[in-house]
Amino acid sequence: MIREILKMGDPRLLRIAKSVEDIHDPALEPIIADMYDTMHAAGGVGLAAPQIGVDLRLMIFGFDTNPRYPEAPPVPATTLINPWLEILGDEREEGWEGCLSVPGLRGLVPRASRIRYGGLLEDGSLVTREVEGFHARVFQHEFDHLNGVLYPQRITDMTSFGFIEALASESDHA
Ligand code: NI
């Protein structure tokens, strides 16, 4: 079922989400299914549970190709429960981000270039990955949602934040 995506300004997006206590809770499966329906309907590359008003540390992301990020390499479809993040090294890079909770806008956001992350998959198994570039960016963006942080708070140069149609020529070359 496609759910309403909360928009920036909604206080529910600012909460520190709660850990999932019971991975086998039957309530999780329909929430995850709704998250995929909602993400696909909106054409997004990721979605965190707080964005549909669910106060849990739960995120999904992944795509083969996506018109919002035409030059991005594929990221495997992943559901993560109670994820964790470790930043590897000091390297940072800037890249364009949008967010389904901040419709119509884009910004140039500095992120760690290389990270290790992990969490529980839907079947309860543990996964750990070392990733870089856009995959690392997508994870960091979704992970931020679980801590009540939206990408505009990460922007350091506000001249690179604006409406997609106004930024189009610039972001096409990013
Ligand atoms: Ni987002």
Q: How many Cβ atoms sit within 10 Å of the Cβ of residue 20? A: 19
DSSP 8-state code for residue 25? -
Residue-level pLDDT at 68: 86
Rg of the chain on CA atoms, in Å: 15
Q: How far is the CA of 124 from the centre of ligand 1 (A)?
A: 25
Select from 144, 96, 122, 136 the least CA-distant residue to 30.
Answer: 122
Q: If you search the block for the tokens 């090294």, which residue do you land on? A: 89
CATH assignment, 11-173: 3.90.45.10
Report how far residue 15's alpha carbon sits from residue 61's, in angstroms, rounded to the nearest whole number. 20
Q: How far is the CA of 154 from the centre of ligand 1 (A)?
A: 12
Q: How far is the CA of 47 from the centre of ligand 1 (A)?
A: 6
End-to-end CA distance of the chain: 34
pLDDT per residue, tens digit, the chain (174 aa), is 999 999 999 999 999 999 999 999 999 999 999 999 999 999 999 999 999 999 999 999 999 999 888 889 999 999 999 999 999 999 999 999 999 999 999 999 999 999 999 999 999 999 999 999 999 999 999 999 999 999 999 999 999 999 999 987 655 544
SS3 of residue 14 by DSSP:
helix
SS3 of residue 152 by DSSP:
helix
Q: How many Cβ atoms sit within 10 Å of the Cβ of residue 76? A: 11
Residue-level pLDDT at 173: 47
Residue-level pLDDT at 168: 76
Q: Could you tell me where the beta strands, DSSP code E, fall in 32-159? A: 46-48, 58-63, 75-97, 105-120, 126-132
Catalytic site positions: 142
Confidence (pTM):
0.95
